[in-house]
């Protein structure tokens, strides 16, 4: 996969809004770059000077612990200066619009803005008013591209390929930006994506994205190489999307019994944080098939790669020499 | 001194008289007269060879924003935009601030409009404050100049109130217009529900949110024997309901807007807030159904739903952006495309944009009969131009057609025989 990258290939994206904008060559290149960075995090001194003097702003309009920490660690391991802004979307009600915020931050000349926002499309709006690169760290129910990339990296590591794999995504697809990034990414890389969940969680016309919607979790999991469970937001119960978590876990939760329908070497993924006993039974979440912590580790490497690439880094070999 | 005008050599298209011929048209003191009654030496002569002469266009669905949101539009600027678009009359929705739910507001609008470039027919609110609770004073508003009632933008949830509105409006000879939207089903949605909303991660509004309410209005019109007019129809499903209701004699009429027969939900891609309106842009299948319905008579009128907003409402996150686009200055060009494409003839276009709106609203205009008030639009169907929202007369620049190459334009608009717009 990554090895097939054409020699004349150039990474051209200034902004990362979603997997949607990335070609097969782009994805392969990002994953190859991430793989070359991963080793840095296992060194005794986990820091390279690659992005020294660069200013990276984490602009989070929604609470996040994991993603923000992962981006921050990624930036710091590359010697960039990082700043965290936890903006509240309620600032809009005080009269400050996203465009105002963008212009103010721009005036401080950052190099990269990593943004998470409850509104789909907010990163694009930000990018229109700013010179810095914008990386989407999750926008509404749209995309979460770095998560999609780290998921692809994790699967590739375990399976040696993405093409032809059967990936089952189970749960709240409709409200999940992770699901959309994974659907687009894995199908683009040639995997066969199957979805299952209560119909209230299946987005309109999602089959048009090249996936197969299954009637039951069993159908989706049968013969799967990868099973990915999505987090159920607890408030969905009040939205008449599911009657109760109890019923959800009984009919759509992933247990070891269910996984016996999958391939022998199936791996189980989850974007976290897991509601143990809801999406995954505890023995699955912590069991031998779980690669949830690999996902977290790969997240740092993927985010290092994205920062490096949007700032104009291009060749994996440069990274290696520079990092030594 | 008498005002005498002679429009020479134009193609007079007046479906009210089944007329479509090359002829001259005279105007004396604001009334249409036979050209024989005009002595050329006394007249101001407009040689309009190659152009169409049609009864002044009437837009039965606009938002003029005054009183209350004059930074978006005023009655004056809205009327100038109307005249520039070939309109001589508009019906303005009541969702102003304060809401036009009483005769004082109605009268304010009428008085403001008296010196403007187009006739303004206020549409009063169905309910007080458009809150959907208690009927507004239709009789008083009608005396002040209202021609219809609607709670446009804040659809009437309570079916019993809607029933009462139809009954009570019929007592005053007022039309009830309905913005058909089942609010529980559309809640939180900001574009059509389908593949594009899934790809963009935006919450969708299903077509059923419109058609459920269209059916309710039809059923209530049937129950009460009242008249109902469905505003801005956007879905194929609604058209099936309207068509069958008409076939069995229900007093229902319906309009659509140029964006629904020109654009689809694809226009939203890139989170384009200038493609956000309510009801939302739908699918290609819906667009085709609307085009067919304009031809076969299921739809009665083309109205713009002209909805000016400032950048404050549009240069924001897509789900937070205000609904609506300006339309007065592009409606005619976009509708003329239907004629060029052979979907409808020029006479049908005039029915949709002038004659039927006049009849549905029960107002003057829609015909060039001798003695009629001389609201006349002269259209150059060949004129090509690039539409610039920035240079438009409306204060609102929120148009998805900004920068489009358009063809066909009003070059003269006469309001009671006086030029309200000239683009030559």
Q: Is the pLDDT of residue B64 over 90?
A: yes
Residue in chain A closest to B268 (alpha carbons) equals: A121
Q: Regarding beta strands A166-170 and B57-62, do their DSSP bridges make them parallel or antiparallel, or are they unpaired? A: unpaired
A177 in contact with B at a CB cutoff of 8 Å? yes
User: What mean pLDDT do residues B301-315 have?
Assistant: 96
**DSSP letter string over A173-238?**
-TT-HHHHHHHHHHHHTT-EEEEES-GGGSPTTGGGGT-EE-SSHHHHHTT-SEEEE-PPPGGGGG
Please tell me the predicted confidence (pLDDT) of residue A239: 78
B269 in contact with A at a CB cutoff of 8 Å? no
Tell me the β-bridge partners of B123.
B148
Q: Is the pLDDT of residue B331 over 70?
A: yes
Q: Quick one: which of B382, B386, B378, B372 has its CA closest to B416?
A: B372
What is the set of active-site residues of A? 66-67, 94, 116, 144
For residue A134, the surrounding DSSP H or E stretch is: strand A133-139
A205 in contact with B at a CB cutoff of 8 Å? yes
Instruction: Report residue A257: phi and psi, to 5°.
Output: -60, -45
Q: Quick one: which of A27, A73, A29, A82 has its CA closest to A297?
A: A73
E strand spans, B269-404: 301-302, 376-386
B163 Cβ contact partners less than 8 Å away, ≥ 6 residues apart: B220, B223, B224
3-state secondary structure of A91: helix
**DSSP letter string over B134-196?**
SB--HHHHHHHT--EE--TTS----HHHHHHHHHHHHHTTPEEEE----HHHHTT--EESSHH
B223-239 residue pLDDT tens: 999 999 999 999 999 99
Instruction: Report residue A31: phi and psi, to 5°.
Output: -65, -40
CA A30/CA A43 separation, integer angstroms = 21
A62 in contact with B at a CB cutoff of 8 Å? no
B137 Cβ contact partners less than 8 Å away, ≥ 6 residues apart: B101, B102, B103
User: How many residues belong to chain B?
Assistant: 424
Contact between chains at B270 and A99 (C-beta distance less than 8 A) = no
Q: Quick one: which of B138, B229, B223, B147 has its CA closest to B180?
A: B229
Say if CB B368 and CB B395 are below 8 A apart.
no
Q: What is the ipTM of this complex?
A: 0.92
Please tell me the predicted confidence (pLDDT) of residue A319: 46
DSSP secondary structure code for residue B66 in this structure:
T
Contact between chains at A204 and B312 (C-beta distance less than 8 A) = no
Confidence of residue B309 (pLDDT cuts 50, 70, 90): very high
Contact between chains at B316 and A121 (C-beta distance less than 8 A) = no
B75-114 residue pLDDT tens: 999 999 999 999 999 999 999 999 999 999 999 999 999 9
Torsion over CA of B186, B91, B215 and B163, rounded to 10 degrees?
100
B317: nearest CB among A121, A180, A209: A121
Mean pLDDT per 10-residue interval, chain A, length 324 residues? 64 97 98 95 92 95 92 97 79 74 91 96 96 97 98 98 98 96 98 97 96 96 98 79 92 96 98 92 94 96 98 58 39
Q: Regarding beta strands B44-47 and B52-55, do their DSSP bridges make them parallel or antiparallel, or are they unpaired? A: unpaired
For residue B23, the surrounding DSSP H or E stretch is: strand B19-28
B374-406 residue pLDDT tens: 999 999 999 999 999 999 999 999 999 999 999
Q: Is A242 left (phi over 0), alpha (psi -120 to 50) or beta?
A: beta
A208 in contact with B at a CB cutoff of 8 Å? yes
CA B7/CA A267 separation, integer angstroms = 80
CA B75/CA B82 separation, integer angstroms = 10
- B344: preceding bond cis by omega (within 30 degrees): no
A125 in contact with B at a CB cutoff of 8 Å? yes
Residues of B in contact with A99 (CB under 8 A): 315-316
Contact between chains at B200 and A121 (C-beta distance less than 8 A) = yes
The shortest C-alpha distance from B255 to chain A (Å) reads 28
User: What mean pLDDT do residues B194-204 have?
Assistant: 97
Say if CB A16 and CB A142 are below 8 A apart.
no
CA A38/CA A56 separation, integer angstroms = 20
Q: Quick one: which of B301, B409, B316, B306 has its CA closest to B363?
A: B301
Residue whose pair of structure tokens reads 């199908």 in the numeric block: A187
Residue A109's CB is within 10 A of a number of other CB atoms, namely: 9
Residue in chain A closest to B196 (alpha carbons) equals: A205
CA distances from A270 to A140, A178, B131, B305 (A): 19, 10, 46, 46
Contact between chains at B194 and A205 (C-beta distance less than 8 A) = yes
CA A280/CA A275 separation, integer angstroms = 7
Q: Is the pLDDT of residue B303 over 70?
A: yes
3-state secondary structure of A47: coil
Please tell me the predicted confidence (pLDDT) of residue B128: 97
Say if CB A140 and CB B201 are below 8 A apart.
yes
Residues of B in contact with A95 (CB under 8 A): none
Residues 174-213, chain B, touching A (beta carbon < 8 A): 193-195, 197-204, 206
CA distances from A88 to A85, A117, B145, B201 (A): 9, 9, 47, 21
Please tell me the predicted confidence (pLDDT) of residue A63: 87
How do the residues of chain B divide into helix, strand and coil, expressed in percent and rounded to 5?
35, 25, 40
Residues of A in contact with B198 (CB under 8 A): 180, 203-206, 208-209
**Mean of the per-residue pLDDT values of chain B:** 97
Q: Is the pLDDT of residue B257 over 80?
A: yes
Residues of A in contact with B270 (CB under 8 A): 124
Edge to edge, the sheet with strand B175-178 lists: B57-62, B87-92, B119-124, B148-149, B175-178, B228-230, B252-256, B301-302
What is the set of active-site residues of B? 305
The number of helix segments (H) and strand segments (E) in chain B equals 14, 18
Residue B307's CB is within 10 A of a number of other CB atoms, namely: 26
């Amino acid at each position: 996969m990554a090895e097939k990258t054409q020699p004349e290939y150039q990474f051209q994206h200034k902004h990362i809004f979603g997997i949607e904008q990335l070609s097969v060559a782009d994805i392969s290149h990002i994953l190859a770059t991430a793989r070359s960075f991963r080793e840095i995090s296992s060194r005794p001194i986990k820091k390279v000077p690659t992005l020294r003097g660069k200013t990276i702003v984490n602009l989070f309009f929604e609470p996040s612990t994991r993603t923000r920490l992962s981006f921050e660690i990624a930036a710091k391991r590359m010697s960039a200066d990082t700043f965290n802004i936890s903006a509240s979307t309620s600032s809009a009600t005080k009269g400050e619009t996203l465009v105002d915020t963008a212009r103010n931050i721009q005036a401080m000349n950052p190099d990269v803005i990593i943004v998470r926002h409850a509104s789909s499309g907010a990163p694009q709006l930000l990018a229109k008013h700013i010179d810095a690169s914008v990386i989407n760290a999750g926008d509404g129910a749209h995309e979460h591209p770095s998560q999609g990339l780290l998921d692809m990296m994790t699967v590739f590591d375990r399976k040696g390929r993405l093409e032809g794999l059967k990936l089952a995504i189970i749960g709240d697809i409709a409200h999940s930006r992770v699901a959309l990034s994974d659907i687009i990414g894995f199908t683009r890389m040639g995997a066969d994506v199957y979805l299952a969940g209560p119909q209230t969680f299946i987005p309109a016309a999602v089959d048009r994205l090249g996936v197969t919607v299954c009637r039951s979790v069993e159908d989706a999991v049968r013969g799967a190489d990868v099973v990915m469970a999505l987090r159920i937001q607890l408030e969905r119960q009040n939205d008449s999307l599911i009657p109760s978590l109890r019923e959800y876990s009984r009919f759509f939760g992933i247990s070891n019994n269910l996984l016996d329908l999958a391939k022998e070497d199936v791996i189980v993924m989850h974007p976290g944080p897991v509601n143990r006993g809801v999406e995954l039974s505890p023995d699955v979440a912590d069991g031998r098939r779980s690669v949830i912590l690999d996902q977290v580790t790969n997240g740092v490497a993927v985010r290092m790669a994205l920062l490096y690439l949007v700032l104009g880094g291009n060749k994996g070999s440069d990274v290696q020499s520079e990092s030594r | 001194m008498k005002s005498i005008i002679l429009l020479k050599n134009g193609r007079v298209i007046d479906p009210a008289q089944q007329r479509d011929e090359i002829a001259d048209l005279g105007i004396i003191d604001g009334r249409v007269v036979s050209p024989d009654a005009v002595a050329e030496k006394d007249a101001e002569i407009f040689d309009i060879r190659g152009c169409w002469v049609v009864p002044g266009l009437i837009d039965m669905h606009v938002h003029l924003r005054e009183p209350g949101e004059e930074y978006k539009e005023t009655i004056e600027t809205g009327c100038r935009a109307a005249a520039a678009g070939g309109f001589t009359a508009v019906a303005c929705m009541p969702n102003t601030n304060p809401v036009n739910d009483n005769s004082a507001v109605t009268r304010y609008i009428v008085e403001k409009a008296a010196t403007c470039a187009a006739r303004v027919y206020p549409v009063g609110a169905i309910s007080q404050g458009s809150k959907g609770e208690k009927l507004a004073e239709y009789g008083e508003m009608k005396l002040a100049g209202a021609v219809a009632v609607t709670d446009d933008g804040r659809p009437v949830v309570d079916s019993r109130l809607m029933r009462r509105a139809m009954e009570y409006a019929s007592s005053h000879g007022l039309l009830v217009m309905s913005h058909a939207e089942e609010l529980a089903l559309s809640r939180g949605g900001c574009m059509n529900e389908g593949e594009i909303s899934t790809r963009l991660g935006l919450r969708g509004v299903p077509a059923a949110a419109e058609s459920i309410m269209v059916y309710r209005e039809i059923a209530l019109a049937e129950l009460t024997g009242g008249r109902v007019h469905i505003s801005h129809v956007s879905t194929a499903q609604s058209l099936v309901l309207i068509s069958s209701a008409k076939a069995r004699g229900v007093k229902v009429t319906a309009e659509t807007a140029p964006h629904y027969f020109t654009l689809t939900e694809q226009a939203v891609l890139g989170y384009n807030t200038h493609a956000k309106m309510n009801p939302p842009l739908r699918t290609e299948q819906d667009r085709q159904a609307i085009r067919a319905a304009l031809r076969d008579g299921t739809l009665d009128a083309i109205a713009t739903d002209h909805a000016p907003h400032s950048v404050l409402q549009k240069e924001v996150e897509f789900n937070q952006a205000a609904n609506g686009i300006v339309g007065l200055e592009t409606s005619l060009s976009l509708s003329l495309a239907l004629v060029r494409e052979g979907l409808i003839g020029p006479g049908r276009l005039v029915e949709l944009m002038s004659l039927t709106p006049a009849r549905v609203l029960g107002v003057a205009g829609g015909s060039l009969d001798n003695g009629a008030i001389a609201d006349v639009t002269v259209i150059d169907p060949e004129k090509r131009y690039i539409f610039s929202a920035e240079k438009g007369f409306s204060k609102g620049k929120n148009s998805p057609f900004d920068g489009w190459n358009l063809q066909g334009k009003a070059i003269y608009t006469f309001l009671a025989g006086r030029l309200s717009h000239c683009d030559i």
